Amino acid sequence: MKQAIKLPEAVAIGPVSYSVREDAAYLASMRRHCNDHRYAETEFATTTMVIDPHLSPSRKRETFMHECVHALLCEYNCQPEDDAKEERLVESLGMALLALIRDNPSLIRYLVA
């Protein structure tokens, strides 16, 4: 049986380090406030990513990548003007990047060599 790998405590997005934490209460409050079903939230001003600790391991990885893509778009000034367009872009790109990395483990070794 595979040992569970912990969510990183921080992730570098360009020149910025984002702290990463799990916080169910914070996300429940955000869901009520925004009237939605978000699994995570990225605060760009405080460079913080908050992930729902109750997600399955695979959903948590996908959600973490999703939030990383949001941060990439922000830090590299590529955010679409329309929030709905950004969400569609992030959803597709996050899943595509995760699949690329998972399907090609030698790719990361090559790129960071």
pLDDT tens series, the chain, 113 aa:
566 789 999 999 999 999 999 999 999 999 998 888 899 999 999 999 999 999 999 999 999 999 999 999 999 999 989 988 999 999 999 999 999 999 999 999 999 99
So what's the pLDDT on residue 2? 65
- Residue range of the domain that includes 45: 10-112
> What is the total count of domains within the chain?
1
52 falls within a domain: yes
94 falls within a domain: yes
So what's the pLDDT on residue 25? 95
78 falls within a domain: yes
So what's the pLDDT on residue 35? 86
H helices present in 3-104, as ranges: 24-34, 57-75, 83-103
DSSP secondary structure letters along 5-51: PPPPSEEEETTEEEEEEE-HHHHHHHHHHHTS--SEEEETTTTEEEE
